Structure 1
């Protein structure tokens, strides 16, 4: 049912603050839809569904707008259901007269819902007269993600089409297996059923087709299945085999012409009829579900079938290291590499996914090839021969035959989506419409058995398996060993990376999703060597580090991912630089549709610095320019490793202890393995004899004797490893390896009482006569200063697992007071820090439960004095501890404080730091005034003005101006086009005479004091560049 909505007129554009917003943000006509990632879906929404407009965020359809003469529930329900099936947009905005109705597209549609539709799906109703500001806030709230948070109950991911369809597929698969089919046969039968459903929903095959196959007993697939007669289904398959392709419809449950197909019966047909009927949520048993429509469901979603079926065999998925790539992440990968390709590759280039799985990367690549064809021709209709040619340019390998079958199915549908149904029906008359791709361009084969010289391509793309430490028998290990290529931790992704380069033509690209820890952050010698080799032998183009999105991207996988785009290195490659982007988790991830790629998170790294500094990728995750200066200051001091040796090095004779030695506690023996010849155990003289302290019972700051009273001993003296036994007695510092990042500090406790601890705790022995120094170190380890430094200096903290290893711990700065720029200030602070630990040793529990904040606030103050930090440097550390650290790698459903909107108090503090920093840059003679000229809930315009008369102007906020109106005026004055989504440009600055305007999101992240220092640095650099350019121009004159 086509809605035939009205065009979006100027009045509605003004009311929704969409004036001046055109493609690629707002699409209203088919002519404007060009070279955008979701072009087909946008055209279908505007033309096929009759919407007035589609508003996109970063190219992803997010809001569908329908302007109607009057509200007709039946038509709106139908549009809502179609868009829900499409699975892209999250919001439907219906405009009628002076009323705006906003519907969630994440709510499952029901058939014949009545007023239940509005109760379940209507987020809010607004009127033009009473809700003018709220109307303008819809688009801004969508761009910032605020809208999803404020109305979270309407955007439950479990009600989206992908969740419902995949739940039904999983349930159907289980029922088919329960009725006697083996899992592979059940998977094949469901794939075949979905393909027939697609043909039916797109009206490629109609009632006549089903009547012929069923002996005129059924006019559709559901009716044929309900007959319960297997012969009718086999007759349908025979017709489809002739008309479409031989290997897809060999027989129900089978793709192999040389094998006997499994036997199916009426129970299996009953399951299929329930699935195909689509009006039942099979897991919940709800019968009034509107139903999914394969005419609208994007084929990218179908690739999720592979993940769900692998999910039935979780051990196999873990063994292969294969995880389904979410549609929005695959889109990000394809878009990033596509934007880098020259026209010659877009026109004729070939694409390869060496571990193609369900084919999502190949499908999206094929769709982009088709869109490029349309963009460069005058016709939107692609000739069949051209489509087949483009299809032959996408290729894939995979070890799993079931996965390759899903990829075949996905590409067939992607092919048919490019052709109108009447044209397909004409092709059917010729027979064998679908080309052979199984065994031709999609092959069930080990990538490491493929001859690279015979499979040269222009783009290698995908998400290769992340599998390590699985033994020496894998072909990837053999392949790397024969070529003497590094494969740190036997990580398969490294092998895929090296081999992918051999498949590239001279100007080709590889775009791989890879484990961030192994490729970017691990600083072991072998990992650093492999990374340096890749940077030297390839030309890295872009790295997108998704570490902060660790818990948001893959269901079931908790390793952080990174997209690395690279190609062959030119002969004699000199030093070069490449893009380094580190997107942060934000509110837009709540709807799982897009990843925010903000300019604030984009920088570049040189190949020289990447090879010289193993931790540069980690530091650049969050470190700003002002923080870089502070880090360099602290890095210049004596490090702990100049005093402390690691126990393993001492035991091997490669280091001398000198009394300061750091080692792990004992590793407990696993009871079920004790007694096995291959399992090592040993008897300890301490474990099981001394009191044992658990990690959860470890006090903060110090362990007094009463803290151990009543502590039980470990239950046995038999352990797997004894650990560093010298740390069970005497003076030492106990430091947990795990870090509670949200607390904003490490943990350390000074201990003089005998006790044992497990390997999750590290013990540092303090030699006789050095007790005062040990207590100073304990206090500093509990301060925010060393937590801040550790956050930027360690590999996994903030990028992978929240822990600090021994080799990382000893890189922390630990100077004496005499090294400080103000030795007396540092000495007084050291005395106070040591006194704090002494008090903790003498008072059980040290009353931390009563007022821990006051104690640690005092420790922080003393630590700031010890390191002689300035107020600006303290602000950097405090902001990190209070806001940044609790926000890193948030779990799904969380809401870190840094995501909330800024308050007036926050903005006043920001403006004060900003103006002070700029005044210092100008020498103090010309104060800078700050005024918030306009703001709404999501965006603000801050005006900075230099006062030549030297009169300071207090900070103020205007409540009169509209954000969009002010921006239009500013950009008109400077003769620049008005940009679109300012959420993607949080550091946007524009000069107008003596004034500088900053356009900033209202989220707290961008109004911290540390953000003000970073912004002031950037402004100063702009002014320096401008001054240099002006001087050069004057010299030329």
Structure 2
């Protein structure tokens, strides 16, 4: 029995979130009181967080395969005269919690929509918030309510439609971190205090502010706080009203009250969290710390300070506070530090430590832990497991209390380990883990019972490559993290004796530190243990150098790898935060300590969808999963790029093309005789900066054949030719190349795929071209002209470069390629070209028109646009053609034909039927029906038993008919997808005995 008000129930029905519908994603918060086996642990945890805010219901996007559901909407019932906080205060809580970006308030007459991705505003010193939209339950039309239908949250279309209004940039996560960065810079300039001490004051102050606000309110409205309201109203603290007042009251007294508070809290909580060292005390005593008070009070305009009142620290997720500490780690090119977004950390914890599989005596290691964000999430999952086991044991949902404190603290001490080379990072990691305990327990338990554990034996400040020598006999059940991306010099590797510890007897590509961390950390895995690292996807999967390919072969031979989740599409967004932008293609690799290898590796592609770019959640569909045979992983270097660009038959085409003679082969016998090939010059410094030492050591050399020669800027060299040339100024060059490489007849090729053709120019005069170009000099002018024609008129070459280059789409540029990529292009000779088959041409066209566009662009991606009926018709035609070519060699025999094609709002439906003779009319044991949008949604739910975006592609086999139901986005209805669908249908029918 669901006890909800009539107005609340009516509003939920109008937005297709009915109470009690098992196919719906709606759950009442009151379900917590009667929690039973129907509710999944993930739901219980999220409902508990919603209850803390005061929500009455939550609408979830549920996922299949026991993957974590995602809270989409909080719903508040205001229709019964319930006494609640003011709407701005409620908004402040929801925004601070970061759990949802939209919530509904339902009154007797209206459904009021609020955008909780944006903070409250401060107007005349008061908090204020405006509704996103108000809908009247009686008078407004169905279409207005459909805009907020649960179906649109199920299939993600709401976030696609409203992508600009619910931006990640205004969420509490991004706002607090980016503004804190600005405020910290100003604070450090103003306070005139040793930076490490200033950072320490900021960090402990954030914790104190969290503890000041930490409050629980029971059903009767009674408050329980960590700090009593008058805790600082004592003589030793200057009879202060709060922490900020104590700081200010002590400024004229050598900051005695601040130091007294820190000493008091250090004694009370233990664990060295609030400890101030003797040399730090003297520095603080002599400092003007008014900027600290200003920072915490919210009195200074222009930076974070005015925003403190927008946050409710009582509701900020503990991961966010841990992320704040990440900001205190210096980020330089040398240390490879990267801010790991919480939604990525939590996703990987769900993948490696799923909540429905509790483990005991489980040891966790992050060998490059930074401020401990992975360790915080992992420890929280250990506590989740403890709660799940209690739930199964007792039959009800248990919130940890004082009697569980010792057990859960021991769980932390015995299970969680980290290493980092930076002492400050280690301090922050200990701090973050200690703070996590505060989040688990009630204010009463925190104040009366909590003593922070000494974690000095768990979180260790040491170089990992030194630490592992002593720790090699340790074993961990999971090793997880984001190791630094640094290319170590050979001297560093030799100095640490790193390669003597590596099982793989090949060179690690460029001594990439993240890969070194991986091959060494794997040695610490317990039997059946799991390693999950975020690694640069270029060296791991895509680089095409001989060293990289050789390394990959041994890597996949050596390790048992169940899956690789590839985030290359998200290289421009995954690690991007204001003021801390990182543009890097990464993948999460999973390695198990098993004696046997997997027959297949799942290569999962995370696409550049709005829900991921805006960090709502990760979503995957059927076409994002690619099964890579173990042999392919070892021996086929193109399989990964093929999957990145759509998969299916693409790898077959690439391997056919790879077997053809190449440009390099064609020129091999003529090189050094009648043909010269080279990249262009590198000027380096201007002549006036070249030193005598540069000249003596040969770092810079004269090149009279380049001085004064015609040259051009890279931007002036386009697919239409060279727009402008000018004489090259300079005599000394860092890389000058040979004179013959610039001599006519000359073909100059830009190392760029181009939007229509590969840019290429034939020249009968000397041209001085830069390193971004390749020059081919040949005494036979007609040879160069023939090659130019092949380049200029071949989409096939653009396709091959896109699908084989280890740089294109992996590095910062989607169109940039390498010299070796161009020389590896197939060349059959003059006036000869590879003729593509019908299906091969489709693969080429779709790769260039859609998948390359998908990799390159941030907005207006064509593959994400709605599919039209002509798109579905083109898809259907190819689908039937492929099936008919596979099932029948005689056109007089049976064939598949179209009997229905429907483009609904949200979904497309394709129905094909097998007729046994050409002249037979389509028929079926079940009469064909027009499937409307609501029926499609119901079919999706009934078929999957969950509204998942991981398995959104429905294939139903019904007598002689095949029904396909897919979202109405163009990427699901491309002709190349029709080929992949047809291949899968054939496999399904074969497995079913047809």
| Same fold? TM cut 0.5 | yes
Query: Counterparts in 2 of 1:499-648, with a 5 A limit?
Result: 499-555=520-576, 556-570=581-595, 573=596, 576-645=599-668
Q: Deviations over 1:221-263 (max 9, x none)?
A: 2332342442222222222112102511123xxxx46865522
Deviations 1:325-367 (A, max 9, x none): 0111111222221249965xx2211001111001110011011
- d(CA) in 1 for partners of 2:810, 2:5: 49
3-state SS of paired residue (2:657) = helix
Q: Where do 1:76-155 residues align within 5 Å? A: 76-97=87-108, 99-110=110-121, 117=128, 119=130, 121-123=131-133, 125=135, 130-138=140-148, 139-155=150-166
Residue 42 of structure 1, CA deviation: 3.8
1:872 lines up with 2:877 in the alignment: no
CA contact (8 A) 2:501 2:520 kept: no
Name the CA distance, whole Å, in 1 between partners of 2:138 and 2:656: 56
Cα distance in 1, alignment partners of residues 267 and 407 from structure 2 = 23
Q: 1:1000, CA displacement in angstroms?
A: 1.0
Moved more, 159-168 or 381-390: 159-168
Deviates further, 941-950 or 384-393? 941-950
Q: Which residue of 2 aligns with 1:335?
A: 350
Alignment of 1:216-365 (within 5 A): 217-229=239-251, 230-251=255-276, 256=277, 260-264=281-285, 267-268=288-289, 270-277=290-297, 282-283=302-303, 286=306, 290-310=309-329, 313-314=330-331, 317-339=332-354, 343=358, 346-365=359-378
Residue of structure 1 in register with 2:430 after alignment: 408
Determine if contact 2:703/2:736 at 8 Å carries over to the other structure: yes
Q: 1:745 to 1:326 in 2, by over 3 A?
A: farther
Name the SS for the 1:364 alignment partner. Answer: helix
The match for 1:696 is: 715
Distance 1:48 1:116 in 2: 18
> What is the aligned counterpart of 1:667 among 656, 662, 682?
682
2:51 counterpart residue number: 46
In the superposition, relative to structure 1, how do residues 912 and 278 fare at CA in structure 2: closer, same or farther (>3 Å)?
Answer: farther
Once the 2 structures are TM-superposed, how far is the Cα of residue 394 of structure 1 from its aligned partner?
0.8
1:495 aligns with 2:516: yes
Q: Please give the residue correspondences for 1:712-727 in structure 2 after superposition, counting only pairs within 5 Å.
A: 712-727=726-741
Correspondence 1:1011 to 2:980: no
Q: Which residue of 2 aligns with 1:989?
A: 955
Report the more deviating stretch, 384-393 or 4-13: 4-13
1:946 aligns with 2:951: no
SS of residue in 1 equivalent to 2:472: helix
| Distance verdict in 2 for CA 1:18–1:142, change over 3 Å | same
Could you tell me whether the CA contact under 8 Å between 1:536 and 1:569 is conserved in 2?
no
Q: Using the alignment, how far apart are the partners of 2:80 and 2:128 within structure 1?
A: 17
Deviation per residue, 1:382-413 (Å, 9 max, x gap): 41122112212111111112211221121112
Contact 1:665–1:725 at 8 Å: present in 2 too?
no
Distance in 1 (alpha carbons) for counterparts of 2:26 and 2:807: 41
**C-alpha separation in 2, matches of 1:759 and 1:625:** 36
Correspondence for 1:160: 171
Asked if residue 788 in structure 1 is aligned to residue 799 in structure 2, the reply is yes
Name the SS for the 2:644 alignment partner.
Answer: coil
Compared with structure 1, are the counterparts of its residues 237 and 6 closer, same or farther at alpha carbon in structure 2 (3 Å cutoff)? Answer: farther
CA contact (8 A) 1:910 1:1007 kept: yes
In structure 2, relative to structure 1, the CA distance for the partners of 1:223 and 1:1017 (3 Å cut) is same
Q: SS at the partner of 1:309?
A: coil
Question: Cα gap change, 1:979/1:767 in structure 2, threshold over 3 Å: closer, same or farther?
Answer: farther
Q: Evaluate the alpha carbon distance shift between residue 97 and residue 193 of structure 1 in structure 2; reply closer, same or farther with a 3 A threshold.
A: same
Q: In the TM superposition, what is the alpha-carbon distance from 1:546 to its structure 2 partner?
A: 0.9
Q: 2-side partners of 1:244 and 1:5: how far apart?
A: 44
The answer to whether the aligner puts 1:881 opposite 2:848 as a matched pair is yes
Match of 1:193 among 195, 205, 213: 205
State the TM-score, normalizing by the size of structure 1.
Answer: 0.83
What is the SS of the residue equivalent to 1:539?
A: coil
What's 2:826 paired with? 813
Contact 2:75/2:103 (8 A) holds in 1: yes
Partner of 1:863: none
Question: Is residue 2:882 matched to residue 1:917?
Answer: yes
Q: How far apart in 1 are the matches of 2:664 and 2:900?
A: 49
How many residues in Structure 1 have an aligned counterpart in Structure 2?
933
Segments of 5+ residues of structure 1 without an aligned counterpart are 818-826, 831-865, 1029-1037
Give me the whole-angstrom Cα distance separating, in 2, the residues matched to 1:473 and 1:969: 60
Aligned equivalent of 1:435, options 446, 453, 466: 453
Aligned equivalents of 1:931 and 1:280: distance in 2? 65
1:79 match: secondary structure: helix
The answer as to whether partners of 2:900 and 2:912 remain within 8 angstroms in 1 is: yes
Aligned-residue CA RMSD (Å): 3.4
How many angstroms does 1:137 deviate by? 4.5
- TM-fit CA distance, 1:561: 0.6
Rounded Cα–Cα distance in structure 2 between residues aligned with 1:776 and 1:513: 42
Q: Secondary structure at the match of 1:93?
A: strand
Q: Which residue of 2 aligns with 1:1020?
A: 986
